[in-house]
Amino acid sequence: MYISYKHDIVMIAILTGDIKESRKVPAKIWMQLLKTELDTWGKAGKDWEIYRGDSFQLKVAEPEKALQAAIRLKAGIKSQAPLDIRIGIGLGEEDFRTGRLLENNGTAYVHSGEAFEELSESHQDILIKSPFEGFDQDINLMLKLAMEILDTWTEHSAKTVYLAMTHPEKTQTALGKLEGISQHAISGRLSRARFDAIRALLVYFPLKLKRHLS
């Protein structure tokens, strides 16, 4: 679903990020995981690119899924301890497009870059910037609180959250079979990861965005 605002301009999301502690882990361990996850959102070059070794940019055509993409990326990368990820999410328009994502431009790209630059100052690993100041204030406060959960994920917790997010149709029993552990163990990991709270935020995000667009 494409979201339009102000004179039918199509809104998109751009995620700009990098891998924390990437020099401590051989790239062959995490690079394929990163590429696989980026591939679920589009085509290499056109919709996502990896540059400078451990930095990336991703276009999410459905902006209401931007936070889902960011948290899935964090869960996937954090499952390879001691790695973690930083992501600046920009919502806006794309008014200049080429065959390469890194050559495109528009307010979504500008907002993403600005959000990424503000990560260190804000002391959190996911930050959003959009055309709506009130939306940004509310969501970024929620993200600051959510980071108190996400940043404490263990390698096992992150991997289980990643599985649950990439296979939402599967039961806990089926997820356990993928991991070779019991349903009870899956339930325990998801509980310790506070997955219900994170899922509630992911449900709220598109509803909040829709209200600002209406």
SS (H, E, C) the chain: CCEEECCCEEEEEEEEEEEECHHHCCHHHHHHHHHHHHHCCCCECCCEEEECCCEEEEEECCHHHHHHHHHHHHHHHHCCCCCEEEEEEEEECCCECCCCHHHCECHHHHHHHHHHHCHHHHCCCEEEECCCHHHHHHHHHHHHHHHHHHCCCCHHHHHHHHHHHHCCCCCHHHHHHHHCCCHHHHHHHHHHCCHHHHHHHHHHHHHHHHHHHC
pLDDT higher than 70, residue 4: no
| Six token digits for residue 183 | 């349903």
**Quick one: pLDDT at residue 91?**
97
pLDDT higher than 50, residue 1: no
Measured at the CA of 90, the angle between CA 57 and CA 207, to 5 degrees, comes to: 120
Closest CA to 18 of 46, 58, 45: 58
| Whole-structure pTM value | 0.92
**Quick one: pLDDT at residue 10?**
82
Span 3-150 CATH architecture? 2-Layer Sandwich (3.30)
Q: For the segment 19-48, what is each residue's pLDDT rounded down to a tens digit? A: 999 988 989 889 999 999 999 999 999 999
Q: For the segment 104-163, what is each residue's pLDDT rounded down to a tens digit? A: 889 999 999 999 999 999 999 999 999 999 999 999 999 999 999 999 999 999 999 999
Residues pairing with 179 in the sheet: none
The overall average pLDDT reported for the chain is 92
